[in-house]
Amino acid sequence: MCRYLLWLGLALAWPGGLRASGSLEARGSGGIGTWSAGGTVSVDLDKDQHWSVSGSDDYTSVTDTSAPSATDDASVVLSYASGGAWGSKFGLDYSNDSVNSILYAGPSFGLSYGEPGGDEDAPDLWTLSVDASIHGYQVDLGANSIQSKTRAGVPYVLVNNNGILDISQFNPGLTFEAPLFSGWLTPSLGYSHDFYNHDPTLAAQVIARRYTTGSGTLRSTSLVGALYTDTWTAALSLKLFAGWSLEASGTNSLLVQPLLWIQTASVGLKIPVGKSVTASVAWTDSIQGETTDEGWAGSLSLDF
């Protein structure tokens, strides 16, 4: 569905099209043994720009032999902005790892409130956003594998996990943003927590045993959304000269199995190219225990 929305956005933006307003973005990232490419189209549904719909599609390939994957992520989001302090959104997310037969899907929703600034052109004094998602993993664990064992002279049978594993994940979160110095400096801080219908530690162990010959950390973190409990995110945006801006962010996520913090960081620039085109380039870094992965990310967006 998202691919069709992307083509629709191209048709709307093309000269002689329906002349709708919105934006298009193409993006990509890469690192050692991994790359990703995708895009987003957002189209306003009314002339006052209160209602909008967006579609995203990203393909990620991981060629690491200990945890390979090929994942297609898609989402559709319907948003409403009142033109005042309130905003809301509702979305549907879908992901399919064709290499490991892991399906992930479900709804997401959010509500935000921004305290208006001193005048009409001033940024909001602060914005508080409440977001939540309810997603389910469906993991194909494959066929039975039965082995006869002996413990202290007593025979027993070991049956590996098999069939379909279903895991439900509820992820509520809060994000607070407060522009400073008339919006030249904008820090934000977010926190979210994951709830599961089954013990996520056991689920992570099952997935790690079934889907990797190497580190279980690689397999668990390659899941969309991953099997985390707590996630903290901090971000900073600084306006520079001629419309340029410096963007930095950092995230700490607590993985359930093995129990460790996954740290990610990104530092990049947003650069305007003409009146309606913006380019961005960023350096990224991820630390998982004793493993560090560096890479790059870039995007090109067009307002129409």
Do 161 and 209 contact (CB within 8 A), yes or no? yes
54-69 mean pLDDT: 85
Average pLDDT over every residue of 58-72: 83
Sole residue written with tokens 């973190």: 221
pLDDT at 22: 92
What domain range includes position 177?
Answer: 2-303
Is residue 133's pLDDT more than 90?
yes
Q: Encoding tokens for residue 4?
A: 């069709």
Judged by average pLDDT, the poorest of 16-25, 96-105, 133-142, 228-237 is 16-25
Could you tell me what percentage of the chain is helix, strand and coil, using 3-state DSSP and rounding each to the nearest 5? 10, 60, 30
CATH of the domain at 80: 2.40.160.40
pLDDT in tens, 39-52: 999 999 988 889 99
How high is the pLDDT of residue 211? Answer: 56
Q: What's the burial of 257, exposed, middle or buried (CB within 10 Å: 0-12/13-18/19+)?
A: buried
Q: How far apart are CA 38 and CA 16, in angstroms?
A: 26
Tell me the pLDDT band of 82, cut-offs 50, 70 and 90.
confident
The answer to whether 257 and 194 have CB atoms below 8 angstroms apart is: no
Q: Is the pLDDT of residue 301 over 90?
A: yes
The predicted structure's pLDDT at residue 32? 86
Domain count, the chain: 1
pLDDT at 298: 97
pLDDT at 197 over 60: yes
Q: Please name every residue paired with 167 in a beta bridge, in sequence order, or none if there are none.
A: 137
The mean of the pLDDT values for the chain is 83
Q: Are 176 and 127 in contact (CB under 8 A)?
A: yes
Which distant-in-sequence residues (6+ apart) come within 8 Å of 267 by Cβ?
246, 247, 248, 282, 283
Q: Apex CA 94: angle with CA 91 and CA 59, to 5°?
A: 115
Res. 89: pLDDT tops 90? yes
Report pLDDT for 68.
78
Contact criterion met (CB below 8 Å) for 206 and 200: no
Reported as a single tens digit per residue, the pLDDT across 239-274 is 999 999 999 999 999 988 778 888 999 999 999 998
pLDDT at 101: 76
Lowest mean pLDDT among 117-121, 219-223, 281-285, 294-298: 219-223
Residue 8: the pLDDT is 57
Contact between residue 27 and residue 41 where contact means Cβ atoms under 8 Å apart: no
* 66 pLDDT more than 70: no
pTM of the predicted structure, to 2 decimals: 0.81
Using an 8 Å Cβ cutoff, are 246 and 238 in contact? yes
Q: Is the pLDDT of residue 7 over 60?
A: no
Q: With bands split at pLDDT 50, 70 and 90, how would you rate the model's confidence at 146? A: very low
pLDDT of residue 144: 41
Lowest mean pLDDT among 101-115, 144-158, 162-176: 144-158
Q: Look-up: residue for tokens 């225990």?
A: 289
For residue 231, count CB atoms less than 10 angstroms from its CB and return exposed for 0-12, middle for 13-18, buried for 19 or more.
buried
145 has pLDDT over 50: no
Question: Are the CB atoms for 127 and 114 separated by under 8 Å?
Answer: yes
Spatial distance between the Cα atoms of 250 and 226, rounded to a whole number of angstroms? 17
Give the DSSP H/E element, type plus range, for residue 197.
none
Judged by average pLDDT, the poorest of 15-24, 66-75, 85-94, 140-149 is 140-149
pLDDT at position 143: 47
User: Residue 239's pLDDT is what?
Assistant: 96
Q: Please check the confidence at residue 16 and state whether its pLDDT lies above 50.
A: no
